[in-house]
Structure 1
Amino acid sequence: MMAWRQRWDRILPHLVIWPPLLVSCAYVLVFSVWTTWVSFTRSTLLPDYSWAGVRNYTAMLASRNWQIAFTNLFIYGACFVVLAMAVGLLLAVLIDQRIRGENLFRTIFLYPIAVSFVVTGTVWGWLFNPSIGVQKLVHDLGWTSFRFDWVIDRNMAIYTIVVAAVWHGSGFAMALFLAGLRSVDADLVKAAQIDGAGAWRIYTRVVLPTIGPIFVAVLVMLLQFAIKTYDLVVALTAGGPGLASTLPALVVYDFMFQRGELGRGAAAAVMLLGSLTVVLIPYAGFRAWQNRRGAARV
């Protein structure tokens, strides 16, 4: 009986982990292959497996919606990644000072991660709405010339998404940076202090170079967050005004489920997947190189 129970205790974790993992991998793989195949067919409202070559890809690349969406993605992605990393690093450095109430502040900064993108977009949409948000509040206080109507301004709408995304993602970056800062060898910091280095030099010359791999990991994760952004945009601006804040994920949904052009939507989805691959493959190569270098040192 005891031997059977021990055997069951060894098997149970595998039964809990592997079946859901294999089902998820099969789901992703099967539908990725199917979407790729459909992107080369004449499918419209319903699947039509007649071969169309790269016609759907050339049509999507020539589409004004796709061109604007990718331009917006470059703007949004660059601003979001840079600001989220900067804010996250700043918060991590401040918390790393062993301040009183550290757990409380860490919880507050991490709280946005627990909020869905839909809720985040909805609340920030209220704040940016000139009729009920910050602009109305300031007007009610007597400053009637104040303007904060980014959500209806074609030139600024994309930056409303940046602000909401940074608020949502900077806590995640902070958590990773803080873990990296806490992993730095204390002897290195003490040696720098003995040499007379101040706090600024310690962080810029000792601590931050040491956690270089953390920077790469945060960069890659934030980039893939940016590329996949969909629900935040839908809840905040719905891609408007016009196409001012449309991102590629919205174009995929528009072509596949609203226009009934399944082949072109699948082509857009494959190109979006290719964008993720461009980000993830160099990171995988970097991690493999890092592991080989570590093994060589040992």
Structure 2
Amino acid sequence: MAFTTGSAAGARSAPPRQPRSSSARLQAWLPKLVLAPSVAVSLFFVYGFMIWTFVLSLTNSRMLPSYNFVGFGQYARLMANERWWVAASNLAVFGGLFVMLCLVIGAGLAILLDQRIRQEGALRTLYLYPMALSFIVTGVVWKWLLNPGLGIQAMVRGWGFESFNFDWLVRPEMAVYTLVIAAVWQASGFVMALFLAGLRGIDDEIIKAAQLDGASLPRIYARVILPCLRPVVFSAVMILSHIAIKSFDLVVALTGGGPGYSSDLPATFMYAHAFTRAQIGLGSASAMLMLGGVLAILVPYLYSELRSKRHE
């Protein structure tokens, strides 16, 4: 009898389920309907064209796409192409120096501004301003500055130092380093902003505790603060590496890939073969290898992030 009474009370306490009205269903589906066109366009114009590029890399397409499949023959041609290996080695030099110097300079500027110095706002704007420019503008400006007859070399020689030489722009073995100079000048301020945001997010109590233990300021930054900025470092490395791999406009504006093709990067190699030499298949193969380079950086980063969140 008690069981029956309890069951009846439970039945009475449970409210009856009301059917969802049409307005509630519309409200639930409205965000999906609004986002659906954008998602469809992104899938088609991003991932769809990625797939199409991979398909073309397996064909003997030249001026126009053809679907005469040759397997991985274009990739074999690419591996036997001397200009591709010059572009790949230039990417290793340019990408390595670009990422390393941007991290060092950006972290140094962020630590400087984190000392609450005077005119911090003006200095922060000054350091970050180059990132507001396009790489085309940066390339043109540095092309003037590095021109031996017009720029830094001509200016210093005009001061009386006739033996001064800074002709990297016209030397095949040094031209790639001019790309590093221009790219670091533009991107280091962005890295500074990332590090400064990370520094401002660290609890001051941690720093005060380290100071009470007698740690000097350089030791605090080296042993306490910078290890806390590991996510910022990972994010900066990923963004800078992506910029380095797909660099095209800076090369075109600054060196044009020259002298000869001594400062070529994979992006300019892909453009030259796919559009100016009517070798779409070979250009598509180089584009897929560039995509593989981006994924080689992105996938380990995402894996480490997801793994760290899973263990939290």
TM-score category (smaller protein): over 0.9
Partner of 1:226: 244
The answer to whether structure 1 residue 52 and structure 2 residue 56 are counterparts is no
Task: Report the 3-state secondary structure (helix = DSSP H, G, I; strand = E; otherwise coil) of the residue aligned with 2:78.
Answer: helix
Mind listing any 5+ residue stretches in structure 1 that lack a counterpart? Answer: 1-6
Q: Say which of 78, 89, 92 aligns to 2:110.
A: 92
- Bigger Rg, which one: 2
CA distance in 2, matches of 1:20, 1:241: 43
CA distance in 2, matches of 1:264, 1:128: 33
CA distance in 2, matches of 1:89, 1:13: 41
CA gap 1:75/1:36 in 2 versus in 1, 3 angstroms? same
For each residue in 1:80-122, what CA deviation from the matched residue of structure 2 results, as whole angstroms up to 9, or x when unmatched?
A: 0100100000000001111121111111111111100000000
The answer to whether structure 1 residue 260 and structure 2 residue 278 are counterparts is yes
The answer to whether structure 1 residue 141 and structure 2 residue 159 are counterparts is yes
For each residue in 1:113-148, what CA deviation from the matched residue of structure 2 results, as whole angstroms up to 9, or x when unmatched?
A: 110000000000000001111111111111111101
For each residue in 1:146-198, what CA deviation from the matched residue of structure 2 results, as whole angstroms up to 9, or x when unmatched?
A: 10111001121000000000001101111111111111121111100111111
Partner of 1:77: 95
Q: What pairs up with 1:202-221 in 2 under 5 angstroms?
A: 202-221=220-239
Amino acid at match of 2:58: F
CA RMSD of aligned residues (A): 2.1
Partner of 2:294: 276
Task: Report the 3-state secondary structure (helix = DSSP H, G, I; strand = E; otherwise coil) of the residue aligned with 2:311.
Answer: helix
CA distance in 2, matches of 1:275, 1:265: 15
CA gap 1:266/1:132 in 2 versus in 1, 3 angstroms? same
Task: Report the 3-state secondary structure (helix = DSSP H, G, I; strand = E; otherwise coil) of the residue aligned with 1:60.
Answer: helix
**1:68 CA drift (Å):** 0.5
Partner of 1:196: 214
Partner of 2:147: 129
Partner of 1:4: none
The answer to whether structure 1 residue 289 and structure 2 residue 307 are counterparts is yes
Structure 1 runs, 4 residues or longer, greater than 4 Å off? 7-18
Amino acid at match of 1:24: S
TM-score by length of 1: 0.92
Amino acid at match of 1:75: V
Mind listing any 5+ residue stretches in structure 2 that lack a counterpart? Answer: 1-24
Task: Report the 3-state secondary structure (helix = DSSP H, G, I; strand = E; otherwise coil) of the residue aligned with 1:36.
Answer: helix
Q: Say which of 112, 115, 118 aligns to 2:136.
A: 118
TM-score by length of 2: 0.88
Partner of 1:245: 263
CA gap 1:11/1:183 in 2 versus in 1, 3 angstroms? farther
The answer to whether structure 1 residue 27 and structure 2 residue 52 are counterparts is no
Range with bigger deviation, 154-163 or 17-26: 17-26
Identity of aligned pairs, percent? 47
Q: Say which of 49, 55, 59 aligns to 1:41.
A: 59
CA gap 1:180/1:45 in 2 versus in 1, 3 angstroms? same
Partner of 2:174: 156
